Amino acid sequence: MRQDNRELPGSSHSIWSRLSGITDYFAWPLRTSHYLELVNPLWTTHKLQARVEKVWDETRDARTITLRPGLNWRGHRAGQHVRVGIPANGKHYTRTYTISSPPERDDHCFTITVKAIDKGTISHHIVRNIKVGDYLPIGLPQGDFYLPDAQPVQPLFITAGSGITPAFSMVSSLIAQGRLPDTCHLHYSPHEFDVVLGKALKALDAEHPRYQLHLLYTREGADQHFSEAQLEALCPDWKSRDVYACGPPSLLEALEACFEQAGCSRNLHIERFRAPFTEIPADAVGGKVRFAQSGVDTEGDSETPLLKVAEEAGMNPPHGCRMGICHTCNTTLVSGCVRDLRTGEVLNEAGSIVQTCICAAAGDCELDL
Amino acid sequence: MKTHQLPVDLTDEQIEEFGRELDAIRDEIFDSRGEQDRAYILKVIKTQRSLALAARVVIYAALFFIPAWGHPLAVWPVMLTLLGLGTFMLGIAKILENMEIAHNVLHAQWDWMKDPEIQSNTWEWDTMSPSDRWMHSHNVVHHTWTNVLEKDLDVGYGIMRVTSMQKWKPAYLLQPVYFILLMLLFEEGVALHEQAIDDHLKGKNKFADFKPLMKRIGYKIWRQVAKDYIAWPLAAALVAIPISFFVPFSPLAVFGIVAGANAVANLIRNIWAFVIIFCGHFPAGAHNFTLEQVEGETRARWYLRQLLGSCNIEGGKLFHVLSGNLSHQIEHHLFPDMCSNRYKEASPRVRALADRYGLPYNSASLFRQFGTTWLKNIRLAFPGGGEPYEGKPSQATSP
């Protein structure tokens, strides 16, 4: 809430911003927006929130959530994703989800479809605990995985599991605009009953002759995993199509290899999500330490506090008590793992707050210092 | 073996064991933080903001009951009751904001939630001291060097003699006056509570050395003044100008009423914060330490020093919230970044642990704690007032 005197990108001298510049004198050290939040959390300008309007269970472990974004929202392009903040067990987690609804929806809402994945505490939490009326902080839509506006394309979608979401948004958008071209879609799922958005997909397939859907079940009898032969059989003209693919890394790797061999990698557009967690090394004995802002690379062992590591590398990062109580040295974990020397707790989630005076490297790590 | 110089009959090994037991309490409570704690702080924040807004509205509403309006309810008793209520509500809102919310957020007690809105490094609070400056003088200097003479600036705040270990000088004769002045101007006092200013008064540095710092503090003070003594009163006065053509009451007086109400609210907060904070380390029985005693201090000895140097105040649930849980000063000093709503749970465990090790646990009513603080302040204005430092455990026990 500390005032930032720099002009933020996108801030304009609208009547509203001039007015709130004055009313902020009344609200200091908060902003007017903090008091508007008491009336309606969707009116805030200091953060963007969305109200959960509807939850819909797609399968036994996937759920579509309809969100009504706050006033500062801007429309998305089909295929883009959005960051969503989710409180779980008292903590705030940020996860990125593809918007599964088309931008042409006329109720100013959008949907995300979340599948509970193994070990994914947050996706489980969303699928089980989020209820109508909750407010979730969100980011603005991002990402360059979307269909081009002008040039006509004949798309081939290859998706698996919850990777269906951007494709679904794109197809729905093309239909809503009344310009659905000849479209082929290969979707992989373990079983018939857990096809995310399965019913809606089948309805599209039945209704629109130009949309050809092939549902492939990888754990029901015959091996249905991706192969070039399979692709050739289901979509003979695949080499001349623009391909949009989203799914687990194994599928994307197989696709890349296949397209590389066929010499048409240019046609392949891939959306991949980076895992927010780093695997905790079993024998954490320290590792490479990178201080991102300073551009310093050095080594840190498992016992030396990162503050000391930084100082020995010639830096002078902020610090105070050197015993973990004053939090002057707090910084952010960009990637990798660090260990709290007091409790032995390992922090491995990007974005975690690291107290450098009492944390040591546990494997390679990168800090925002 | 006993190599330490702390006023307790414990061996080094026993102190280390004591430290490990405190670590265990800390770890257990930290591990159990969860949804209910988040719900707590969000509730307090929402309550505080609603109360602050409601208080301003009630103060404005009081203006519609000035006798000049001429309607049946427009009499001074109604007007002053409303004004008093609004002022009191604003005072409470400021107390909640400063003590239970901001003080604790700035201690990074809520950083674990990773909520970008409730982070120690971005939070700014409703007082004249800029939060990052205060975090330095408080979290770093005071909490690391608690009660250590010549290190902890909070030992007498540079103007008072709060322990017989401080050498007497004639200026201390005036300290009962400083005591009252600091109580009334606590907000301003905290804003100017800086090592650099203290050094400057002792002639150790030039003004130019800390001019940027003063600019930062000045900006914060300006915004605080602009809010309570310009924006809110001025808005009322501007509305009063056209009304004054029909209702014979001066807009200037309207300005004065609102500004006065805000000043009283700030005063309520100042006095309350001063009383609670002075009960933290100054009541009879609280220990002070020399630099020698903390030389080569281990974490366990640091714990012990915090226990010996801090005092709790007993009271009910509402009292604890309004004191920002600084009524659990001992637990707060042992675990400064534990979220404040959990101190009450740590308190009986720390107390039992202190009993087991035969250590004092200075906990008493507000009357006793503030009373002895005040009496000590008067006594120590004069030379003497106890042996400089005896190193006896009995000196640490509360009477």
Could you read off the pLDDT of B148-193 as tens digits, one per residue? Answer: 998 888 888 888 999 988 889 999 999 999 999 999 999 999 998 8
**Could you read off the pLDDT of B313-339 as tens digits, one per residue?**
999 999 999 999 999 999 999 999 999
**Could you read off the pLDDT of A103-160 as tens digits, one per residue?**
998 899 999 988 877 666 777 777 778 889 999 999 999 888 888 887 667 899 999 9
Q: Which structural domain, as residue segments, surrounds residue B214?
A: 12-396
- Best to test chain B binding among A3, A28, A89, A354 (most B CBs inside 10 Å): A28
One DSSP character per residue, B203-238 reads: TSS-GGGGHHHHHHHHHHHHHHHIIIIIIHHHHHHH
Interface check for A29 against chain B (CB to CB < 8 A): the answer is yes
Distance in angstroms (rounded) separating the CA atoms of residues A91 and A82 = 19
Of A25, A87, A320, nearest to B139 by CB-CB distance is A320
Helix (H) or strand (E) holding B179: helix B175-184
Tell if the CB–CB gap between A28 and B116 is shorter than 8 Å: no
> How high is the pLDDT of residue B390?
46
Residue of chain B whose Cα is closest to the Cα of A24: B227
Q: What is the mean pLDDT of chain A?
A: 87
Q: What is the mean pLDDT of chain B?
A: 92
Number of neighbours of residue A239 by Cβ within 10 angstroms: 15
Give A320 or B95, the one with higher predicted confidence. Answer: B95
Provide the ipTM: 0.89
Q: Closest approach of chain A CAs to the CA of B379, in angstroms?
A: 34
List, in order of start, the domains of chain A with CATH numbers. Answer: 49-137 (2.40.30.10), 155-271 (3.40.50.80), 287-367 (3.10.20.30)
Domain count, chain B: 1
Tell if the CB–CB gap between A35 and B49 is shorter than 8 Å: yes
pLDDT exceeds cutoff 80 at A285: no
Evaluate whether residue B5 is within a structural domain.
no
Of B53, B123, B302, nearest to A38 by CB-CB distance is B53
Distance in angstroms (rounded) separating the CA atoms of residues B319 and A262 = 75
The radius of gyration computed from the CA coordinates of chain B, to the nearest angstrom, equals: 23
State which of A286-290, A365-369, B77-81 shows the largest mean pLDDT.
B77-81
Percent of the residues in chain A that have a pLDDT greater than 90, as a whole number: 47
Whether pTM exceeds 0.90: no
Tell if the CB–CB gap between B337 and A2 is shorter than 8 Å: no
Number of neighbours of residue B187 by Cβ within 10 angstroms: 22
Residue of chain B whose Cα is closest to the Cα of A47: B117
**Could you read off the pLDDT of B42-72 as tens digits, one per residue?**
999 999 999 999 999 999 999 999 999 999 9
Evaluate whether residue B4 is within a structural domain.
no
> How high is the pLDDT of residue A4?
45
Distance in angstroms (rounded) separating the CA atoms of residues B276 and A321 = 25
Tell if the CB–CB gap between B49 and A2 is shorter than 8 Å: no
Nearest to B39 by CA among A216, A189, A90, A151: A90
Cα dihedral: B391, B394, B396, B399 (round 10): -150
Residue A365 phi, psi dihedral angles, 5° rounding: -155, 160
> How high is the pLDDT of residue B305?
95
Of A30, A85, A325, nearest to B143 by CB-CB distance is A325
**Could you read off the pLDDT of A11-62 as tens digits, one per residue?**
556 888 888 889 999 999 999 999 999 999 999 989 999 999 999 888 888 8
